Structure 1
Amino acid sequence: MDPRFRDTFGPELSIGKAVEIMTASFAQVGYSTPGLDARLLLADIAGVKRIEFIVAPERPVGADWQRLTEAAERRLAGEPVARLIGSWEFWSLPFALDASTLVPRPETETVVEAVLAAIDRSSGRDASLRILDLGTGCGAILVALLSELPNAFGIGVDRELGAARLAQANAERNRVAKRAAFIAGDWATAIVGNFDVVVSNPPYVASGAIATLDPEVRCHDPPLALDGGPDGLCAYRSIIADLPRLLAREGTAAFEVGAGQAEAVVALVEGANLRPAIRRDLAGRDRVVLGLPSVRQDTPNKPCDEMRREKHLA
């Protein structure tokens, strides 16, 4: 047991004191959200409700103190909170996780925002859309889109059977399972048909850069979901090469990209005869590359200002 917890954790420990101790310990090792981490662990392990942290901080941890101690030690050793509690929130929706999936990250919500913005400018959210999510992982992007598009149907594909099964469970958990299907496959090789939306957050870390990633990612995310090949672009080449047969005439493609990759993915999108656009995340980084129809019937050369890049768009 870590000495920071050994002398203080026990069944009589109050939740307020537990938060104080864990927050101080997590802050000492440099975690960016130590207080939130502490509260999430208590909520998951001891069933503490959010309001109890405010109105009942004297409540004892009780019989769950040993499990809490183990979780606090594992967090202190670098294991992400999402892995410890086995779930995470994305687009204000809950998603179960396992070892076969990435932890959905806030910046990935930019993909959802970009797709919805494109739909708002074209068919509208009530249209009967077909969505394809390649590399679906826990299903976060597809489930989030289906939650906003009441008449859409989506297919999620992942190379890991376990991930596809977990995504199906997450669709059920978020009440969109009747409009979703999940399969295991190698990108789009087994997929036939035209889709109004093709989305992907593929592996995009260059193989040689994986060793430089933050330990929380490098040591706990599945390598298959990180490794994008020698230059990080292998998955993009494979997926974008299939867009001419996958994407409906007025369809939209959207890809999350890593740092410094937007220009290369833009070139691939242009090679597929689509009109590229780039959307930045809240940190101001190029996060999503879209492939839009070459000719738009509504506003041919006037993409939304927030997505405009004149050097890329006609």
Structure 2
Amino acid sequence: MTGAEALARATRRLNAAGVPDAPRDARRLLAHALRVDPGRLTLVLPEPLTEAAAAKLDAALVRRAAREPVSHITGRRAFYGRDFRVTSDVLDPRPETETLIAVALSGPFSRVLDLGTGSGCILLTLLAERPGATGIGTDVSAPALEVARENARRLVGIERAAFFEADWYPPRPERFDLIVSNPPYIAAHEMAGLAPELAHEPRGALTDGADGLSCYRAIAAGAPAHLAPEGRLLVETGAGQAGDVAAILRGSGLDILGVHPDLDGRGRVVEAGCGATLS
């Protein structure tokens, strides 16, 4: 069986399982089985598959048909032009979060705090884009922090990124000129309607188990004590939440500096600063 034949069969199999965008996923899984970059897959499609590659593809298709995310099968997810190691212990990086990166990079910063860092994709992308910057990532999940440390070693060097197990803010007092977060923002009552793939991601990274806003309240409460003069706080929000989140941040004494839309025009990132330090 050639690669082309395997690709056609894989696509049919995923389509039959009801997997969205089956042709794309079939290509990614075949590339993974062949250990080639997906962009080079076309070059090797005429070649016959080895038994090992065919077995690896079959195992991957079984997992994807069960709606396990492709990133968990391959162990990698692309974000802002870089590949990040991901597992079932961390939230997959989302394209929407690149809006937060763009807003962060629109201003100066040298010391970053990433609250609920997960895979570390936000913190490490910002440090990679600003070689002189350093930062800290916090998370309540020890397994997630191990994934973040692995990504840090590969992408920026562990000396530029430190990680702490903490419920939002780090244990030692310090001020940052940039605080970022993509917290759990799905309300508990919305969880049942989510795509099956999300059942493979950590529930605590998706929902606060309440109204979807409690994490913003915790972040807002600690922000004034951790923002440096003229520092910025950037938080990603879910659909329709930007106004509520802005009100929460304002209620903690923060000034709202902007609400930034994603590519679909939805308010995605709320930007705030501490009025006491901006005056």
TM-score > 0.5, shorter chain as reference: yes
Work out which of the residue numbers 222, 230, 234 in structure 2 matches 1:242: 222
Give yes or no for contact 1:111–1:288 (8 Å, CA) kept in 2.
yes
Which 10-residue stretch deviates more, 103-112 or 287-296?
Answer: 287-296
On the 8 A contact 1:147/1:176 being kept in 2, the answer is no
* CA–CA distance in structure 2, aligned partners of residues 111 and 296 of structure 1: 22
Residue number in structure 2 paired with 1:15:
3
Match of 1:138 in 2: 119
The alpha carbon displacement at 1:79 in A equals 1.2
- Three-state SS of the structure 2 residue aligned to 1:259 is coil
Q: Matched residue pairs, number?
A: 277
Question: Structure 2: which 5+ runs fail to align?
Answer: none
Any conservation in 1 of the 2:113–2:180 contact (CA below 8 Å)?
A: yes
Aligned counterpart, 2:91: 102
2:4, 2:120 → 1: CA distance? 35
Provide the secondary structure at the position in 2 that maps to 1:278: strand
**Structure 1 unaligned blocks of 5 or more:** 1-12, 301-314
Return the match for 1:24 from 3, 9, 12: 12
Report the equivalent of 1:254: 234
- CA distance in 2 between counterparts of 1:54 and 1:99 reads 30
- Per-residue deviation, residues 218-244 of structure 1 (Å, max 9, x unmatched): x11111111223211111101110011
Q: What is the percentage of aligned positions where both structures have the same residue?
A: 39
Corresponding residue for residue 32 of structure 2: 44
User: Does the Cα contact within 8 Å between 1:188 and 1:242 map onto a contact in 2?
Assistant: yes
Mapped partners of 1:141, 1:178: distance in 2: 17
Of 79, 86, 94 in structure 2, the residue corresponding to residue 90 of structure 1 is 79
Instruction: Give SS of 2:150's match.
Output: helix
Alpha-carbon RMSD: 2.0
Query: Does 1:181 pair with 2:162?
Result: yes
Instruction: Provide the rounded CA distance (Å) in 2 between the counterparts of 1:82 and 1:134.
Output: 23
Q: Which has the larger radius of gyration?
A: 1
Question: Would the aligned equivalents of 1:159 and 1:184 in 2 still touch at CA under 8 Å?
Answer: yes
Q: For 1:15-47, what per-residue CA distance to the aligned partner results, in whole angstroms no more than 9, with x for missing partners? A: 111222222333455544322211211222221
TM-score computed with the length of structure 2 as normaliser: 0.92
| Map of 1:201 onto structure 2 | 182
1:264-283, aligned counterparts within 5 Å?
A: 264-276=244-256, 277-283=258-264
CA, structure 1 residues 49+87, in 2 after alignment: closer, same or farther (shift >3 Å)? closer
Q: Is the 8 A contact 2:224 2:274 kept in 1?
A: no
Q: Which one of the candidate residues 51, 58, 63 is aligned to 1:69?
A: 58
The alignment's TM-score, normalised by the length of structure 1, stands at 0.83
Write out the 4+ residue segments of structure 1 that deviate beyond 6 Å after TM superposition: none
Q: Give the alignment partner of residue 172 of structure 1, picking from 126, 131, 153.
A: 153
The structural deviation recorded for 1:58 is 1.5
1:216-270 Cα offsets, whole Å, 9 max, x none, are: 11x1111111122321111110111001101112000000111121111100121
Change (3 A) 1:286 1:208: same
More helix by share: 2
Partner of residue 312, structure 1:
none
Q: Answer whether contact 1:153 1:179 (CA < 8 A) is retained.
A: yes
Q: CA-to-partner distance for each residue in 1:154-179, whole Å, 9 max, x for gaps?
A: 10001001111210110111134221
